[in-house]
Amino acid sequence: MKYQEIARNTIRTEMEGLRTIAENLDGQFDRAVEEILAGKGKLIVSGMGKSGQIGQKVASTLASTGTPAFFLHPAEALHGDLGMIDDADILLLLSYSGETEEILQLLAYLKEHGNLTIGITGKLRSTLARHADIVLNASVPAEACPLQLAPTTSTTAALVLGDALAVALMEARHFEVKEFARFHPGGKLGHKLLTTVGEAMRSEDLPFVDLNIEPEELLIRMSEGKLGMALIGTPDDLKGIITDGDFRRGLLRFGSMKKMDLKKILTADPVIVEESMALSEVEMLMKERKITTVPVRKGAHITGVYQIFN
């Protein structure tokens, strides 16, 4: 068997597991989201071994998307770190078997102190499932591991349920790009989130031309502009744009530049963005529309052009 076929079988098995957990979602998930939204404290995620590694990622995703959260190692909690837990905190406990010793010891403490507990487990008759206040069903038909021993599909299921919680909470809180930027100020991502397109656009030597320009002259102006396009009209009266792609297609359509009718190759309703838009938002829009260059305006005045360099 080729290794890539093993890989395909692994992926198919995990995809089937995800279909199963999607079908098993019920009112317990809604209740979990509502309780977290109404909570006055933090959301603390805990798990051992592979579940703990998944829990760390889940906690990180929650914290970066508007839900105050952190990961607490259950063994460390039982040896002095329980002081990190306040009475108002909600605990998200991960254990596929639902019988992980450290998680159950932590659960007993939490029940005694009145903390709300949410369990993610694949065994609905387990101790965790019977005693957690809310239970999210992470049952999967099979592990991708051929020995059915190494956590594979089950850890993917827990990760996806954690992501689903984070996204549902984002939607409920109307979490927006500016808020995301507040938690991601560093690096390239932070730059794009905090920078407006007006700050990143090119504003000098823009290739504005009249619609009555000769095709040969248009080609020269496009080359000089080094944007792969020309702006047809004036900054206060943009008629449209002609890209180098439009020009090439026009040549194929009309057969020669002498016969080319620029009015018929003009894009009269190009995507135009406001100077104040976040760079990340503009780039997302450009990728959705499959374009690499957009005019930028302030009010009705074209002030620049922004281009994504591939």
- pLDDT tens-digit readout, 206-223: 999 998 999 999 889 988
The Cα diameter of the chain in Å comes to 86
Query: For residue 146, what pLDDT is reported?
Result: 87
> Over the stretch 149-158, which tens digit does the pLDDT of each residue have?
789 999 999 9
Query: For residue 310, what pLDDT is reported?
Result: 53
Above 90 in pLDDT, residue 1? no
Domains parsed from the chain with CATH numbers: 3-174 (3.40.50.10490), 197-307 (3.10.580.10)
Query: For residue 178, what pLDDT is reported?
Result: 60
Q: What is the mean pLDDT of residues 78-93?
A: 93
Q: At what angle do helices 27-38 and 153-173 cross, to 10 degrees?
A: 50
Query: For residue 186, what pLDDT is reported?
Result: 57
Query: For residue 208, what pLDDT is reported?
Result: 95
Query: For residue 80, what pLDDT is reported?
Result: 85
Query: For residue 177, what pLDDT is reported?
Result: 62
CB-based contacts of 47, cutoff 8 Å, min separation 6: 53, 54, 55, 74, 93, 94, 95, 100, 103, 158
- Structure letter (DSSP) for residue 235: T
pLDDT interval class at 5 (50, 70, 90): very high
Q: Please state the separation of Cα 46 from the chain's center in Å.
A: 24
> Over the stretch 163-199, which tens digit does the pLDDT of each residue have?
999 999 999 988 766 666 656 555 556 666 678 899 9
Q: What is the mean pLDDT of residues 103-124?
A: 96
Radius of gyration of the chain from Cα atoms? 28
Report yes or no: 82 and 97 within 8 Å, Cβ to Cβ: no
Q: What is the rounded distance in angstroms from the CA atom of residue 160 to the CA atom of residue 60?
A: 14
Q: Is the pLDDT higher at 144 or at 309?
A: 144
Q: What is the rounded distance in angstroms from the CA atom of residue 10 to the CA atom of residue 278?
A: 40
Query: For residue 256, what pLDDT is reported?
Result: 86
pTM (two decimals): 0.65
Query: For residue 279, what pLDDT is reported?
Result: 85
Distances from the Cα of 226 to the Cα of 43, 102, 143, 294, angstroms: 51, 63, 54, 14
Above 80 in pLDDT, residue 44? yes
Query: For residue 188, what pLDDT is reported?
Result: 59
Q: Share the mean pLDDT of the chain.
A: 91
Query: For residue 113, what pLDDT is reported?
Result: 93
Query: For residue 157, what pLDDT is reported?
Result: 95
> Over the stretch 238-280, which tens digit does the pLDDT of each residue have?
999 998 888 989 888 888 888 889 889 998 999 999 999 988 8
Query: For residue 183, what pLDDT is reported?
Result: 60
Q: What is the rounded distance in angstroms from the CA atom of residue 123 to the CA atom of residue 252?
A: 64
Query: For residue 280, what pLDDT is reported?
Result: 83
